[in-house]
């Protein structure tokens, strides 16, 4: 069993409570003619769902010999039924309270409509939203940007989680074509290329190897890229898995920045590109080391120098808790949050449940460093999914086009 016992117990209790309540409503509100039919059909489907929940609970999620592709779909199927049921139950209970002197439960009537709408929205997110692409164009202005880099185009993408797609390469191919069509000067990937194991990447190697930019493709690792979600048979198996991921990224033509950096040059000017390994706030493990990355940067370089500096770090909390206190990096690019794969609204008015977990979860943010240098953070909400294969509302898979503007350029 891999689901934490308290969470599993709560899930089982809520499942049975919701089903008990709805069966009670069927007995009360469905006519005698159809009562037994509805009751029997509902009970039969509920039992099937209970069996699915049992499979999910006992699936060997951390086994290196089992994939999570099937269980992700089972979990989503279960949730797509019980989340609407929960909405119905809440509405029905409110109806009983507010219309207790009425023969009809208007809350149950309204709840049935709400439940159906929630069900449709969730499956729309599977068949449509997660296959779309949203291009976010962001202009970054600074007097520290060298004149030669005025108009420089950086494309960021993040959190592809190719394991969620199994062997279906259609979406990732579309993602690559869309990125290449932007004619970028530089492409950066900000972590989580797989879900659990490097072998998930195999069907996508040639496709992701098609990415092209004038100054190349640079990447960092995310929390899912270290094999930490698998109980390996030995430490050497995990090490082989991780070394293979580095080898495959090199094969794709990507330059992996593990606590190190590179200089991007234009004419006689240059900007610094630094990448850290995954920096994790609990419960995620921490491998990133900003000071080590600065030290490993070739040439004369420091965390507070006058070079225009770009940092790649998977988790935006790293910017919040460390980067803004130990450096004056002009632009930090992160991913990780996925906007919890659900949001409503657009642009700065977008609302997501991610706000309850992450202070900075999507879009552009800014602060000022200790030496009064403006520091920008952009959080890309990712192009893939993990946990369940769905994106809901405006949490559309994202490609970010960042254009640098030199204030001093004429």
Both 154 and 269 in one domain: the answer is: yes
The CATH number for 152's domain is 3.60.21
| C-beta separation of 106 from 93 below 8 A | no
Both 254 and 159 in one domain: the answer is: yes
Tell me the C-alpha distance between 361 and 365, whole Å.
10
Going 51 to 53 to 56 to 57, the CA torsion angle's sign is: negative
Both 114 and 167 in one domain: the answer is: no
Q: Which domain holds residue 77?
A: 5-127
Among 105, 127, 149, which residue terminates a domain?
127
Q: Quick one: tokens of 246? A: 């580095």
Residue 378 phi, psi dihedral angles, 5° rounding: -120, 130
User: Read out DSSP for 33-92?
Assistant: HHHHHHHHHHHHHHHHHHHHHHHHHHS-TT-TT--SHHHHHHHHHHHHHHHHHHHHHHHH
pLDDT tens digit at each of 410 positions of the chain: 356 677 778 888 999 999 999 998 888 877 777 778 888 899 999 999 999 999 988 888 788 888 889 999 999 999 999 999 999 999 999 988 877 666 667 888 899 999 999 999 999 999 999 999 999 999 999 999 999 999 999 999 999 999 999 999 999 999 999 999 999 999 999 999 999 999 999 999 999 999 999 999 999 999 999 999 999 999 999 999 999 999 999 999 999 999 999 999 999 999 999 999 999 877 788 999 999 999 999 988 999 999 999 999 999 999 999 999 999 999 999 999 999 999 999 877 899 999 999 999 999 999 999 899 999 999 999 999 999 999 999 999 999 999 999 987 54
Taking alpha carbons only, the member of 391, 400, 392 closest to residue 171 is 391
Going through 330-396 in order, the beta strands assigned E by DSSP cover: 331-334, 342-343, 363-368, 374-379, 392-393
| C-beta separation of 181 from 211 below 8 A | no
Among 73, 97, 127, which residue terminates a domain?
127
DSSP annotation of 238: H
Both 34 and 147 in one domain: the answer is: no
Taking alpha carbons only, the member of 409, 390, 380, 401 closest to residue 192 is 380
Q: Quick one: tokens of 94? A: 């409110």
Both 41 and 145 in one domain: the answer is: no
Taking alpha carbons only, the member of 407, 374, 410, 399 closest to residue 184 is 399
Going 313 to 315 to 320 to 325, the CA torsion angle's sign is: negative
Among 108, 127, 146, which residue terminates a domain?
127
Both 108 and 209 in one domain: the answer is: no
Tell me the C-alpha distance between 147 and 181, whole Å.
25
Both 281 and 313 in one domain: the answer is: yes
Both 92 and 221 in one domain: the answer is: no
271, β-bridge pairs:
264
Sequence-separated contacts (24+) of 163-168 with Cβ below 8 Å: 163/67, 163/68, 163/69, 163/194, 163/195, 163/196, 163/197, 163/200, 164/69, 164/72, 164/195, 164/384, 164/385, 164/386, 164/389, 165/204, 165/384, 166/69, 166/203, 167/203
Residue 29 is predicted with a pLDDT of 77
Going 94 to 96 to 98 to 102, the CA torsion angle's sign is: positive
Output the CA torsion 357→363→364→369 (10° steps): 30
| C-beta separation of 394 from 345 below 8 A | yes
pTM over 0.85: yes
Tell me the C-alpha distance between 360 and 379, whole Å.
7
Q: Residues 6 or more apart from 13 whose CB is under 8 A from it?
A: none
Residue 4 is predicted with a pLDDT of 67
Both 225 and 352 in one domain: the answer is: yes
Provide the residue count of the chain: 410
Both 339 and 246 in one domain: the answer is: yes
**Number of domains present in the structure of the chain:** 2
């Amino acid at each position: 069993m891999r689901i934490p016992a308290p969470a599993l117990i709560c899930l089982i209790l809520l499942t049975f409570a919701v089903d008990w309540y709805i069966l009670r409503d069927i007995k009360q509100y469905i006519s005698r003619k159809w009562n037994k039919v509805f009751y029997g059909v509902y009970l039969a489907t509920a039992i099937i769902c209970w069996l699915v929940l049992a499979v999910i609970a006992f699936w060997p999620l951390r086994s290196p010999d089992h994939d999570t592709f099937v269980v992700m779909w089972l979990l989503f199927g279960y949730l797509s039924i019980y989340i609407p049921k929960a909405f119905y139950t809440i509405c029905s209970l409110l109806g009983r309270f507010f219309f207790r002197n009425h023969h009809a439960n208007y809350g149950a009537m309204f709840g049935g409509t709400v439940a159906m709408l929630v069900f449709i929205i969730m499956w729309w997110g599977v068949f449509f939203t997660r296959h779309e692409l949203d291009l976010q164009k962001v202009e970054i202005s600074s007097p520290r940007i060298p004149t030669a880099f005025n108009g420089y185009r950086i494309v960021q993408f993040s959190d592809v989680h190719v394991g969620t797609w199994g062997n279906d390469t259609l979406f990732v191919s579309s993602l690559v074509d869309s990125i290449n069509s932007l004619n970028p000067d530089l492409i950066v990937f900000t972590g989580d290329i797989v879900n659990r194991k490097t072998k998930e990447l195999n069907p996508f190697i040639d496709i992701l190897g098609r990415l092209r930019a004038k100054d190349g493709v640079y990447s960092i690792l995310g929390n899912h890229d270290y094999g930490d979600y698998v109980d390996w048979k030995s430490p050497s198996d995990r090490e082989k898995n991780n070394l293979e991921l580095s080898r495959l990224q090199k094969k794709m033509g990507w330059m992996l920045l593990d606590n190190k950096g590179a200089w991007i040059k234009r004419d006689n000017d240059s900007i610094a590109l630094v990448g850290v390994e995954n920096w994790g706030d609990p419960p995620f493990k921490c491998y990133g080391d900003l000071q080590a990355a600065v030290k490993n940067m070739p040439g004369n370089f420091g965390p507070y120098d006058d070079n225009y500096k770009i940092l790649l770090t998977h988790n935006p909390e790293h910017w919040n808790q460390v980067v803004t206190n130990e450096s004056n990096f002009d632009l930090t690019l992160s991913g990780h949050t996925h906007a919890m794969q659900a949001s409503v609204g657009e642009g700065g008015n977008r609302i997501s449940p991610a706000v309850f977990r992450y202070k900075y979860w999507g879009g552009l943010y800014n602060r000022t460093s200790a030496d009064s240098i403006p520091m920008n953070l952009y959080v890309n909400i990712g192009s893939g999914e993990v946990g369940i294969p769905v994106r809901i509302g405006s949490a559309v898979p994202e490609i970010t086009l960042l254009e640098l503007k030199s204030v001093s350029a004429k």
